[in-house]
Amino acid sequence: GENVEQHPSTLSVQEGDSAVIKCTYSDSASNYFPWYKQELGKRPQLIIDIRSNVGEKKDQRIAVTLNKTAKHFSLHITETQPEDSAVYFCAAKSIGGSQGNLIFGKGTKLSVKP
Amino acid sequence: KAGVTQTPRYLIKTRGQQVTLSCSPISGHRSVSWYQQTPGQGLQFLFEYFSETQRNKGNFPGRFSGRQFSNSRSEMNVSTLELGDSALYLCASSLEQASRDTQYFGPGTRLTVL
């Protein structure tokens, strides 16, 4: 089955710096890769997703890149702000396959210092 | 549209008891998936229901069960509770089958087993 590895587990940056979180997946059939942000005591919120027919996707300060050959995808946050502090989870699944569940990475705790 | 709702938000039970958690999906969504979130294991898939049928199941013991009603609301039941069942239980809804669509999470039910 699918396995998703996420690094680093913790990341501390200064406000205004960039943050990068990386994930690798094992199942070449996976074709959908969402990223969720979970603030303390709150639900995971979808912040960006990418499908395997696209190499990069941007939404304001957030971007995700996908390398299908290497089976890895990354989240890039530019000009970080204190409100970006949260746990970020990557996930993978195969859209259109029989197994619809998301396989999650273990999460990255991002701290943005003012 | 209202988001995914879950009740109750907090529960305290003792070992050996059983518990039922409820999830109401976003209006119009037909798929509900359940996940268990713990600090050690992260987010793990329990099962998915679509059109009142269980479509997919994760690697959890038979003590964990669920169902879905005709209005797409879903319940999850855990019998003979163990200390290790203490976790945040999240449900996620999607418009179509989870294998085809983006999932949106509810706020979770925090279960503590004493």
pLDDT digits (tens, 9 = 90+) for A8-61: 999 999 999 999 999 999 988 888 899 999 999 899 999 999 988 888 999 999
Closest residue to B100, CB basis, from A44, A91, A96: A96
Among candidate residues A44, A76, A58, the one with its CA nearest the CA of residue B36: A44
Please report the pLDDT score of residue A52 as a whole number. 82
Q: Is A83 helix (H, G, I), strand (E, B) or coil?
A: helix
Residue B99 above 80 pLDDT? Answer: no
In degrees and rounded to multiples of 5, residue B40 shows phi and psi of: -80, -40
- Å from B101 to nearest chain A CA? 7
Share of residues in chain A with pLDDT > 70 (%): 95
As a whole number of angstroms, the distance between CA A18 and CA A7 comes to 15
Adjacent-strand bridge partners of B22? B7, B75
* pLDDT category of residue B97 using cuts at 50, 70 and 90: low
3-class secondary-structure state, position B51:
coil
Res B36 pLDDT > 60: yes
pLDDT of residue B98: 57
Q: What's the token pair of residue A52?
A: 């395997």
**Tokens at B111, concatenated:** 């279960």
pLDDT at B65 (0 to 100): 96
| Total length of chain B | 114
pLDDT band at A98 (very low <50, low <70, confident <90, very high): low
Mean pLDDT over all residues of chain A? 92
- Which pLDDT value is given to residue A99? 59
Q: pLDDT value at position A95?
A: 64
Report whether pLDDT(A97) > 80. Answer: no
Query: Is B43 in Cβ contact with A101 (below 8 Å)?
Result: no
The Cα diameter of chain B in Å comes to: 39
What secondary structure letter does DSSP report for B83? G
CB-based contact (8 Å) between A98 and chain B?
Answer: yes
Using alpha carbons only, give the angle B54, B60, A72 rounded to the nearest 5 degrees: 90
Nearest to B102 among A34, A89, A106 (CB): A34
- Best CA proximity match to A89, nearest among A70, A72, A109, A71: A109
Task: Return the minimum-mean-pLDDT range out of A34-43, A80-89, B76-85, B91-100.
Answer: B91-100
**CA–CA separation, A63 and B35 (whole Å):** 26
